[in-house]
Amino acid sequence: MAIKLLDQEKGPHISKYIYGQFSEHLGRGIYGGLYVGPHSDIPNVNGLRTDVVDALKQIHVPVLRWPGGLFADTYHWQQGIGPQKDRKKIVNTNWGGVTEDNSFGTHEYFELLKQLGADAYINANIGSGTVQEMAEWVEYMTMPGESPMATLRRKNGQKDPWKLKFFGIGNESWGGGGNMRPEYYSDVYRQYQTFLPQYDAKHPIYKVACGPNEDDYEWTETLMKNATKYLDGISLHYYTLPTGDWDHSKGSATGFPASLWYSAMAKAQLMDRLITKHTAIMDKYDPEKRVNLIVDEWGTWYDVEKNTNPGFLYQQNSLRDALTAAITLNIFQKHADRVSMANIAQMINVLQAMILTKDDQMVKTPTYYVFDMYQRHMDAQLVDGEGDVPERVTYTASKKDGELNVSLGNYDLTQDRQIVFTFSDTYRDISDASIITGNKMDAHNTFDDPNEVVEKKFTGASLKNGQLVIDLPAKSVVSITIKS
């Protein structure tokens, strides 16, 4: 049985921002993992780890959300500017009660973006901050002319304004960001966005409101009813917990039973239903699909690794995470007409990370390699398919520059599958094909063995009689590009 890829003239555009990242002041997500300071023995450029930045450059991080998460609603930006030695030391009350010395602030964030070539997505503090504080931060970052905040920015060494592409007004305002009710939040959002300064009429800052938690459809309904005309995007947060149990045990990142492999896959697939139902509500208020759904927190969440600070959310990352990432990214692409950005939580050392570090060592995780393989879909055109998809197989397809890209995951633990794709166009060559797999379902990379799960050349695909035939091994993710 074959899947027919429909080379439609114009499919939805797959935004590169779907492959976005998130880094919060949480555990070693920033300090140690990304930022070690200019005087560290760990090789760095302006305090940013060279090894980590180099690895991230390979996956072309398109956007980085910062400074939180929950931390955002306790963050006072003025404490993170000026000479580092004079910056106020505070307590990170959300994450482990550790001292936050504010050495990574606005200037260091934009330096990181410059090194990565990524766009900015900053989350404002509306939980414990003020409208004025938010407005002044945006003035500090983006005012090109003379103004009190622009003068302060120049005094601190940054002559030109930075480009602030995305701006979040509220993080989990239904919970740790203020425990607000949707009616109240809608008004707070309307108020804050009124005072968001926009100095560049040609490139206005894109405003993201705090959207729903998981299946809170009432939140979406109320927000859309009350604020649609003031919105560019609304966020959605959904984490994959294999056990489904936030309170007692989220399960271990490695050494888990097969049942928790399969429940992780099922939980990851829930994202499809959530997006479908939230977008149906959005369609009522915004049938033209002007407002986007921004999944700015997603990923797996397990119990922390043994002997680590529970507030640091440090977890291993295995082949299981590669498969849940593939399932989720395929869902985002399927909904490319509404989902225009997503930010996996979190980029380094926290939850479903791309990279883990220990002192001067680093390892790339299986999830990193999925992001590497899926780059081929960035800013491509979605290609729909028709035909039956074998059980426990997930796929997505796109077209870019005359090439066709297909990515697949087979999350059956033992059964290989053969998948056949047909098309109306003629494709003659496989230009690139790679695979991530492993001997065990919890195969993972460690500092002693960093190459247990890596991306390898895939030889199980062939083009025969105008068909793409793929022998997809059990527990694997495969990406293929073919050309005419």
Catalytic residues: 172, 297
Q: Does 297 bind ligand AHR (CB under 6 A)?
A: yes
How many whole angstroms from its chain centre is CA 160? Answer: 28
Q: Does 69 bind ligand AHR (CB under 6 A)?
A: yes
Please report how close the Cβ of residue 412 comes to ligand AHR at its closest, in angstroms. Answer: 30
Q: Does 296 bind ligand AHR (CB under 6 A)?
A: no
Q: Does 344 bind ligand AHR (CB under 6 A)?
A: no
Buried b (16+ CB within 10 A) or exposed e, 13-38: ebbbbbbbbbbbbbbbbbbbbbbbbe
How many CB atoms are closer than 10 A to CB 458? 23
Stretch that binds ligand AHR, among 45-53, 68-76, 266-274, 443-451 (CB under 6 A): 68-76
Q: Does 345 bind ligand AHR (CB under 6 A)?
A: yes
**Given candidates 5, 63, 70, 319, which one binds ligand AHR under the rule CB under 6 A?**
70
| For ligand AHR, the closer CB: 136 or 297 | 297
**DSSP letter string, 178-219:** T---HHHHHHHHHHHHHT-----TTSPPEEEE---BTT-HHH
Please report how close the Cβ of residue 299 comes to ligand AHR at its closest, in angstroms. Answer: 8
Could you say which residues in the range 24-53 bind ligand AHR, by CB under 6 A?
24
Q: Does 100 bind ligand AHR (CB under 6 A)?
A: no
Q: Which amino acid would we find at residue 345?
A: A
| For ligand AHR, the closer CB: 168 or 438 | 168
Using CB atoms, what's the residue nearest to ligand AHR? 69
Token readout for 427 is 């494709």
Q: Does 171 bind ligand AHR (CB under 6 A)?
A: yes
Number of helices (H), then strands (E), belonging to the chain: the values are: 9, 25
Q: Does 74 bind ligand AHR (CB under 6 A)?
A: no
Q: Does 394 bind ligand AHR (CB under 6 A)?
A: no
Rg (CA), the chain: 22
Stretch that binds ligand AHR, among 1-9, 64-72, 280-288, 374-382 (CB under 6 A): 64-72
Could you say which residues in the range 323-342 bind ligand AHR, by CB under 6 A?
none
**Given candidates 139, 172, 286, 372, which one binds ligand AHR under the rule CB under 6 A?**
172
| For ligand AHR, the closer CB: 68 or 366 | 68
Q: Which residues pair with 49 in a beta bridge?
A: 44
Q: Which residues pair with 420 in a beta bridge?
A: 2, 469
- In this structure, are residues 257 and 243 in contact, taking their beta carbons and an 8 Å threshold? no
27 φψ region: left (φ > 0), alpha (ψ -120 to 50), beta (else): left
Q: Which residues pair with 123 in a beta bridge?
A: 168
Q: Which residues of this protein are in contact with ligand AHR, per CB under 6 A? A: 24, 68-70, 171-172, 297, 345-346, 351
